[in-house]
Amino acid sequence: MFGIKLPGGAVDKAELQRQAVERAKAEWLKQLHEMVEADPETAERLNKALKDRCGKDKTLPYDFKKALLDKAREYERNANMRQCDRLLHEAARLAAEEHLTERAQKLGAGRRYFSKACTLGADEDFRHAAQRLMETIMLTGGVHKDGPSRAKPADFAPKTPNRAKG
């Protein structure tokens, strides 16, 4: 094949094996690169596929596989953090517009992605920011009532006449 030919026409098996490993590394890195901007479901699927392949492939070095899986986990965590942030900001906008049922749906979905990101090792800054945003969303909306209420009854008193001298 593409191996080095030794005197007498023999092919260096070590060189062939090294080339096969390099091709496999390039293929793995290509699959890892697909995870960079993937949505959380795709990132999770690709991460699981990489884990399964790493378990089966015995030719690649351990350090390469460990670094690859760490990077895949980081990309999956980032995808979940992005989705959580997007959903929480949508929920905040809906809360400000008094759409409480849609707010609750977005908030629930955001919490799911938040918990997945935390499981994958999200940093403390993200955790605190997301928790503060969730608390703010829960306290926003549903407070303003149109019309009279018990706290602000309707004003039934007659208007005072304008007695200014003119």
Using one digit for the tens of pLDDT, what is the confidence trace for 59-84? Answer: 888 998 999 999 999 999 999 999 99
Which pLDDT belongs to residue 145?
66
- DSSP state for residue 12 in the 8-state scheme: -
DSSP secondary structure code for residue 61 in this structure = -
- Determine the structural domain holding residue 64 and report its residue range: 13-139
Please list, in sequence order, all residues whose beta carbon lies within 8 angstroms of the beta carbon of residue 14, skipping any fewer than 6 positions away.
none
pLDDT at 118: 96
Rounded to two decimals, the pTM is: 0.76
27 part of a folded domain = yes
- Whether residue 106 lies inside any domain: the answer is yes
Judge whether 21 and 63 are in contact, CB under 8 Å.
Answer: no
Total of domains in the chain = 1
**Assigned domain for 144 exists:** no
Burial 73-97 (b: 16+ CB within 10 A, else e): bebbbbbbbbbbbebbebbbebbee
Residue 4 lies in a domain: no
Residue 70 domain-assigned (yes or no) = yes
Let me know if residue 117 belongs to a domain.
yes
Domain assignment present for 156: no
Q: How many residues does this entry show for the chain?
A: 166
Residue 89 lies in a domain: yes
